[in-house]
Structure 1
Amino acid sequence: MLRILEQYERVPWHPKVFTACVVAYAFSPIDLIPDFISVLGYLDDVILVPLGIIIALKMVPKTVLTDCECKAEEMMKNGKPKNWIGVYRNADFTFVMVLQVLPIINVCVQKRPAPFRYRPLK
């Protein structure tokens, strides 16, 4: 829905900018509260992103919103739009994970001991 709102010409510029900021915040690694803080780090993503989407949808006039909803339903009936960026991102993530796991598998498969050992003190 947000993608259709971004592309629709009858939407004013300020909801487009606000929507772009919400999407950028959702995908950026920078958070207002860092994720390593146990509960609050994830709570800001859970609260701020949906709140930003709700505010962005309320900024758009009702007639434009109904037109965009009709376009979204039409797109879903004709077949879901392909998101190749997501496919490439998942492939990159899988490739990086395989590169990280290969050295561990290599050490486990080889018959030689680990590169270091703990020796008891005498």
Structure 2
Amino acid sequence: MKTPRKQTAENYIKEIRRKSRRIFSSEQKIQIVMEALRAEMSIAELCRKYSINESQFYKWNKEFLEAGKKRLSGDTTREATSDEVAELRKENQRLKEMVADLVLRYDIVKKSLSILE
């Protein structure tokens, strides 16, 4: 059992910021990067418009360009999105529970058959 840690004010604020952080979908990230590529406004203005840090934008931009480079070079494998990973984890958990249930039923049937003999 975990022992409760004393939460400092700084940690409390960090936790609130972490939980209230906006999550951008991949489509939103692509839209923002594409808007920057059109060069209709500066990167600083674009980041202010979407209330994101410039370093975050440059990270998305780099990921976008790297993915395009991989795709054009013939690398057809792609990484799963976080939604796909979450869905696969749910399915994995469901299958594990089914196997556990079947093993339990098998043990019950096996024991009941051994009693009858």
Under a length normalisation based on structure 2, what TM-score does the superposition of the two structures give? 0.30
Q: Which has the higher contact order (CA 8 A, sep 6+)?
A: 1
Q: TM-score, structure 1 length as denominator?
A: 0.29
